[in-house]
Amino acid sequence: MDKLIAGFSNQLMKALDIAHNYQFKLAKNTHIDNVLIIGLGGSGIGGTIVQNYVFDKINVPVIVSKAYTLPRFTHKNTLVITCSYSGNTEETIYSLKDAIRLGCPIVTITSGGKIGDLSEEHGLDCIRIPAGFPPRSCLGYSMTQILNTLAHFELISNAFETEIQAAISLLDNEEEAIKAEALRIAQTIAHKMPVIYIENNMEGVAIRWRQQFNENGKMLAWHHVIPEMNHNELVGWRDIDTNKAVFFLRTQMDHERSKLRMELNKETIAQYTPHILEIYSKGNSYLENAFYLIYLGDWISWYLAIERNFDATEVKVIDALKSSLNEK
């Protein structure tokens, strides 16, 4: 897993090459009323981050679905983008079949599997990404293809490419510093419960941290967003609990009022746990900041596995669940 994490910037470069070389079957001028991105787990997190990224850039609604069924609004002008690394994600296959029946414009992103077969059978746009890796290690591939798909239909500009190129340089330049910080943090929180707070426009990044702590670090974690958590969860901080380690993930894109809220929240929560960590992202664009935090979080999760004596790659409980489902 450490080699896969270390190869993230290289993966982003390869992902851009795949995007540049892919020839869409669907026309650029396909009429699109809304966008539905379908994906779960490591295959789906890219859709959530893209949804955050395009919030102030796109003129049609973008919804992320992690369900077996499609939203009621789905119709023939809904662009459906499915992300399943293996191509065998049960929930995504159900949704894809429904989208095919509805005659939606569809783009699939996969390394193969049943979704690859369905795509060939129905003549769908299918962007193939390299096979043979854990889905959570292929965020760069899936996320870049989603962005390129939106750009193909002229729903967003190609500016994301410049941001990704800048992020690649940033991660390469900061790699050793990021790894050193990640190790220090992992040693601090290895036997504590991580609580991750971030502004709402970057929620996908916090979800990524939580998921990586779960899968790589083999530990529970939770996240919430500011300002929403100020309307509910903040009240839940009542008991002193030194087992909690609270992260405030901060970026240049944070709203001025959110910055103030974080300072005030930090003062409140410090009454209940001494373990508060502020992490400041780097970069000059949304994707630079997002990828910086993602890269840091991925390395923390790797070092957590080491500190806790676990195999970061192993996900036997998920494999067992899938086997049980297949038997039913």
CA distance 197 to 250: 9
- Please say if 114 is a catalytic residue: no
Check 14, 57, 259, 322 and give the catalytic one: 322
CA distance 146 to 107: 9
- Please say if 231 is a catalytic residue: yes
Check 215, 223, 224, 282 and give the catalytic one: 215
134 within 8 A of 110, measured Cβ to Cβ = no
- Please say if 278 is a catalytic residue: no
Catalytic amino acids?
Answer: 215, 231, 322
